[in-house]
A = this chain, B = another copy of it.
Amino acid sequence: MSKVVEPRTLPGFMELLPSQQIQFNIMVDKIRKSYEKFGFLPLDTPIIEMAEVLLAKAGGETEKQIYRFDKGDNDLALRFDLTVPLAKYVTEYYNALTFPFKRYQIGKVYRGERPQKGRYREFYQCDIDIIGDGELSIINDAEMPSVIYTTFKELGFEDFTIRINNRKILNGLFEELNLKDTSVDIMRIIDKLEKIGKDNVIKCLQDINISNEKIDKIMNFLEIDGTTDDKIDSLKNLNFTNELFVKGLEELEQVVKYVRLFGVPDNNFKVDLTIARGLDYYTGTVYETFLDYYREIGSVCSGGRYENLSEFYTDRKMPGVGVSIGLTRLFYKLNELEIIKEDKKSISKVLVVSMIDDNSKSLEVADMFRKSGINTDIYLEDKKIKAKFKYADKLQIPYVAIIGEEEVKNGTLSLKNMETGEQEQLSIEEAIEKIKV
């Protein structure tokens, strides 16, 4: 039969070669292990939900990007994040859950964005959230940086900074300055500080008719600098009496105190008063995480505190705090920057090859390797020995166990170290010891 259809993968959908997939899975495993180390429970929700349920809260960009379709009588959609399914889940199963409910979810989400380099339409999010029933202690806000710190250390990073702010401080500032009504516009401008510079920010603020006096106060606020403790002192010295501001500052101080008690070194976190994180959702602590030498990647782990997770599904108040790693994009960027420099990784530790027609001994050896817990591949095709070694080489398998006539006679095998080229005759037990190291 001749070819009918061109096999191809949709743009914006990551599909990896096995050697990259192994690296990707190692990252997923480390993230999962680290989340579980903090007692987060696993969750797996459907990728398809009723559109009405998924879109209860959404609007604007989200509605445009969502994959939505009919099947039978149902108006369906693919999840575009893991937070809305969580809100649904905790409301639906409220009575069966134990609060605070700490869950992690690692799964694919879908957004039909305009395709461009490094932007994916299907991508993994790795989320943790802690959901309270009615209330949730501020100390949970300090656990998040502790999880982020542990996770990124586990992933092999040393130089990263978790930037922490509190939305109440920003909102309190705007209230204090009687700028509550334009706060959305101001935040949008402030958010560009790093990109457009101080002078342009001032110009933009003037353009929306903020008085110079107030602009001064905003800029003074944004330019608060120094160590984490300096910044908190400076904020106190502003002597703002606005209730929201005072509350936010109190929370930030608490979070900083507990983040240290959680064992996160000052090297790896700082207060950053310019972090706002979107406009509506978060109500208190917010986080962004940057790789110090790769700021251009953007935040690699973000999140914050929200007052009310499930307000569109229930009157029950469920405050929460959470962060998310956008793993697909992070993996893409790490590869692009050639930062993933781990040792060569293979699934199998050894490849068994037979030099003789009778495969009996090879199968027996492979079985013994596997029973000893060693991932073992076996080359079963009738090819020249060169092809067999090439297979091991291409899959980066570190050892090849060779079974020839002599080996069968002696009850031994020849073990070749593929990196050094060394080859030695060993008993099966000796080979197992060697491979396991």
Measured CB to CB, the residues of A under 8 A from B are: 1-10, 13-18, 21-22, 24-25, 36-50, 52-53, 56, 67-72, 74, 76, 87-89, 91-93, 96-98, 100, 102-103, 108, 110, 112, 121-122, 132, 135-137, 139-140, 143, 146, 150, 258, 261-263, 310-315, 347-348, 351, 359-360, 363-364, 367, 370, 373-378, 380-382, 391, 394-395
Contacts and interface: CB of A to CB of B under 8 A. Distances in A.
A347 B41 contact: yes
Contacts of A132: 381
A143 to B, nearest CB: 7
A52 B49 CA distance: 24
A46 B121 CA distance: 10
Given A150-B370, A381-B132, A44 B69 contact: no
A123 to B, nearest CB: 11
Contact of A7 (B76, B98, B310): B310
B10 A74 contact: yes
Contacts of A8: 50, 53, 88, 92
A47 B108 contact: yes
B89 A39 contact: no
Interface centre among A2, A312, A381 (most CB of B within 10 A): A381
A71 B122 CA distance: 14
Given A44-B21, A46-B10, A88-B9, A375 B314 contact: no
A363 B44 contact: no
19 contacts: A5-B313, A7-B310, A10-B46, A18-B42, A22-B41, A36-B347, A38-B370, A39-B378, A41-B395, A42-B347, A48-B110, A69-B70, A72-B112, A100-B380, A140-B380, A261-B360, A261-B364, A262-B363, A263-B363
A143 B315 contact: no
A327 to B, nearest CB: 12
A37 B376 contact: yes
Contacts of A7: 53, 87-89, 91-92, 310, 313-314
A84 B351 CA distance: 28
Nearest to A105: B21
Contacts of A69: 67-70
Instruction: Kindly list the 8 A-B residue pairs having the minimum CB-CB distance in the complex, ordered from nearest.
Output: A39-B377, A69-B69, A39-B348, A18-B41, A13-B46, A7-B313, A5-B56, A7-B88
Given A3-B315, A50-B10, A314-B7, A38 B136 contact: no
Given A3-B314, A18-B43, 14 more contacts: A2-B315, A3-B313, A4-B56, A4-B313, A8-B92, A13-B48, A18-B97, A21-B42, A39-B347, A39-B348, A39-B351, A39-B377, A47-B47, A48-B67
Contacts of A375: 36-39
Contacts of A16: 44
Contacts of A44: 15-16, 21, 24
A381 B136 contact: yes
A311 B375 CA distance: 32
Contacts of A91: 7
Contacts of A313: 3-7
A71 B112 contact: yes
Contact of A258 (B2, B102, B359): B359
